Chain A
Amino acid sequence: MSALRILVPVKRVIDYAVKPRVNKAQTGVETAGVKHSMNPFDELSVEESVRIREGKKTPVEDICVISAGPTKAQDVLRTAMAMGADRAIHVETKEGEDLEPLGVAKLLKAATEQNKSNLVILGKQSIDDDAGQTGQMLAGLLGWAQATQASKIEFTGGDSVQVTREVDGGVETLKAKLPMVITTDLRLNEPRYASLPNIMKAKKKPLEKKTLADYGITAEKRLKTIKVTEPPPRQGGGKVEDVDGLVSKLKELGAL
């Protein structure tokens, strides 16, 4: 059986604990001066790759993390390496030059071919755009098998991988042969904490810098964002005087 070469794409997003604010121009959310961190679903995929290696059932030759974004995206790559990835590729884009899911999928296709990866583990979606498209598009472009929203990944000998997914009212088990694309669900594992000593050690791991042009990609947009607005504020409840008031109110609302 061939050793695994895992590619783990990660994204730097606004931290999950921060409440995003729409900018004044209503073109997007405010990102300047806001705390950023690794997309939580990507943490799951980094953790899973490291666990596949630590499980020792399947030889893992290489765990490479890749991120496209501004210079600060290197922080999340360092975090991923502190969690156990071997090396990182940073595809630098200019501030405000965001890629759409299709662009990311094309970039990842090129990166997958260049790194000779045979397994790509992605987060099922990013918590900023919530598009949830990249993994599927990548599998389509590569012509590989895909298992989305995995809650369990097992290697069943040879090149076959068994993936369990949570579906309505039960679980679904899929089996496919490498090479393949897997996207992670929240319950796949518990990502480890990137401790300070490990972050220090990760600084010695190789980080390769690339540009979009190196992969023959442009950041041209197919979609135009017309307007971004905050959701309407929650309507407060009303007080009723007595039982009669309550009954008449309920009748008014058609609940009785």
Chain B
Amino acid sequence: MALPPPNPVLRRQVIQLYKELLHMGKEYPQGYDYFRPRLHRAFMSKSGLRDEGEIKQAIATAQFVQKELQALYYLKKYRTLKKQYYEVGEPQAAFGGVSSGLR
């Protein structure tokens, strides 16, 4: 490789983020097999970065995605439970019982 080695501190941070995101991907609604290649591609597309400012920006993007994922998981759970336990008056819940919601 012609590229110079990256800053070791940032490198460690990036690897850590990748691991954390991979772990979160196990719960992804479309499945881990959908999530993993996409995550890998997203990280690989930035692998050529050497400018510290740019790397930090990419890290910030990854942290943003991490927060979005957490929000997504929370909302999905909240909405499913709300549908199953709190919207009995709605025709769908009244007819289908508790299990017919989002599935």
Tell me the A residues contacting B by CB distance below 8 Å: 16-17, 19-20, 40, 127, 186, 190-193, 195-197, 231, 234
How many A-B residue pairs have C-beta atoms within 8 angstroms? Tell me.
41
B39 to chain A: closest CB distance in Å? Answer: 14
A16→B20 contact, CB < 8 A: no
User: CB-CB < 8 A to A197: which residues of B?
Assistant: 16, 20
**The 7 residue pairs across chains A and B that have the minimum distance between CB atoms:** A193-B70, A196-B23, A196-B20, A231-B97, A19-B103, A16-B80, A186-B81
Q: Is B4 an interface residue (CB 8 A)?
A: no
How would you classify the secondary structure of chain B's contact residues: helix, strand, loop or mixed?
A: helix
A193→B74 contact, CB < 8 A: yes
24 residue pairs bridging A and B, Cβ less than 8 Å apart:
A16-B80, A17-B77, A19-B103, A20-B99, A40-B81, A127-B81, A186-B78, A186-B81, A186-B82, A186-B86, A190-B74, A190-B78, A192-B70, A193-B24, A193-B74, A195-B20, A196-B20, A197-B16, A197-B20, A231-B96, A231-B97, A231-B99, A234-B95, A234-B96
Q: Is B19 an interface residue (CB 8 A)?
A: yes
Q: Is B73 an interface residue (CB 8 A)?
A: yes
A16→B99 contact, CB < 8 A: no
The size bracket of the interface on B is 20 to 34
Tell me the B residues contacting A by CB distance below 8 Å: 16, 19-20, 23-24, 29, 70, 73-74, 76-78, 80-82, 84-86, 95-97, 99-100, 103
